[in-house]
Amino acid sequence: MKILVTGATGSVGRLVVDELLALGATGVRALTVNPAKAALPAEVEVVRGFIGRPSTLAPALEGVDRMYLAPVIETNAEVCRMAAAAGVRRIVDLAGAKGDHWQAIEDGVEACGVPYVHLEPGEFMANAELWAAQIRAGDVVRDGCGSAANAPIALEDIAAVAARCLVEEGHEGRSYELTGPESLTRRRRVELIGEALGRRLTYVDLPHDEFVQQLEQAMGEYAAWYADGMRQLAANPQRAVPTVAELTGRPATTFAQWARDHRELFTP
């Protein structure tokens, strides 16, 4: 069985490659823009290409049975049609909550007719890196919507689920909401980072407009969309769901553990 991992040097795709190998998968093919710099394991077949440029994909799709689809909305529908024409028999896509910005990913996959598995993670724990510069500089984090509560998920857990959906049977036609194991406010997450560092961090809530302006430095045009989402979570907290543990057979990563594992991000 040939499995193509698109975005194989990206934040999730690279971890999917590792998870597939850990599950004993053979015939793993990794798509990357620069194979020479990819530094992928020797047992992985590395091919040049980018799903944002469909004209580069024909060689990568040849002989592929199953594909992990990284989210690139602009070319998603065309890539899915190419996968169907090449004979791909399952697509595991990374999307988001139904009806949100990433709905186009699921729509494109379903329209091409290939059996699918939709992965719908919420916010990534890695988004906490937005606070890294402030924490490295001092003990005060100026942010917004401190009472907004959701259940962020570790990238490693997304990858573990994706790998199982690629190699196991029984997942086709399913949509899996993915979260971490607990719902936490933004303020509490900052406190947990402080605990991991052995420091006491203070969270300062910014007015909404200032929050958006601050986010623009890292998120550009998506800052207002992100801030509006946080405001909604303050009114309607996201619940945690047990999907990761149910599919992988192990507990999902807690934010406290993630913070301990990534202390270097926040250390001067």
Show me where the domains of the chain are located. Answer: 3-121, 126-152+181-239+253-266
Segment 66-90 shows an average pLDDT of: 98
Q: Please say if the pLDDT value at position 117 is more than 90.
A: yes
For CA atoms 34, 36, 37, 43, the dihedral sign is positive
* 265 alpha-carbon distance from chain centroid: 18
Q: Please say if the pLDDT value at position 157 is more than 90.
A: yes
pLDDT the model gives residue 254: 98
CATH of 3-121 among 3.30.43.10, 3.30.1330.10, 3.90.1150.10, 3.40.50.720: 3.40.50.720
pLDDT the model gives residue 101: 84
pLDDT the model gives residue 99: 87
User: Is residue 32 very low, low, confident or very high in pLDDT (cuts 50, 70, 90)?
Assistant: very high
pLDDT the model gives residue 113: 98
pLDDT the model gives residue 100: 84
3-class SS of residue 101: coil
Place of tokens 């945690």: 240
**How far is the C-alpha of 183 from the C-alpha of 67, rounded, in Å?**
31
The string of DSSP codes covering 52-96 is TBGGG-HHHHTT-SEEEE---HHHHHHHHHHHHHHT--EEEEE--
Contact 80/111 with Cβ under 8 angstroms? Answer: yes
What the block records as the tokens of 22 is: 């850990």
pLDDT, one tens digit per residue, over 40-69 is: 999 999 999 999 999 999 999 999 999 999
Same fold, 3-121 and 126-152+181-239+253-266: no
pTM beyond cutoff 0.75: yes
Cβ atoms within 10 Å of 221's Cβ, excluding its own: 7
| Closest of 47, 36, 43, 42 to residue 8, by C-alpha | 47
Its CATH class, for the domain covering 126-152+181-239+253-266, is: alpha beta
**How far is the C-alpha of 122 from the C-alpha of 26, rounded, in Å?**
30
pLDDT the model gives residue 23: 97
The percent of residues above 90 in pLDDT, for the chain, comes to 93
Contact 173/100 with Cβ under 8 angstroms? Answer: no
Place of tokens 């595991």: 92
pLDDT, one tens digit per residue, over 244-259 is: 999 999 999 999 999 9
Q: Please say if the pLDDT value at position 87 is more than 90.
A: yes
**How far is the C-alpha of 120 from the C-alpha of 141, rounded, in Å?**
29
Q: What is the overall mean pLDDT for the chain?
A: 96
The percent of residues above 70 in pLDDT, for the chain, comes to 100
CA 106 to each of CA 214, 223, 250: distance values in angstroms, whole numbers, following the listed order: 31, 23, 27
pLDDT, one tens digit per residue, over 170-218 is: 999 999 999 999 999 999 999 999 999 999 999 999 999 999 999 999 8
What the block records as the tokens of 188 is: 């509490």
Contact 9/124 with Cβ under 8 angstroms? Answer: no
Q: Please say if the pLDDT value at position 107 is more than 90.
A: yes
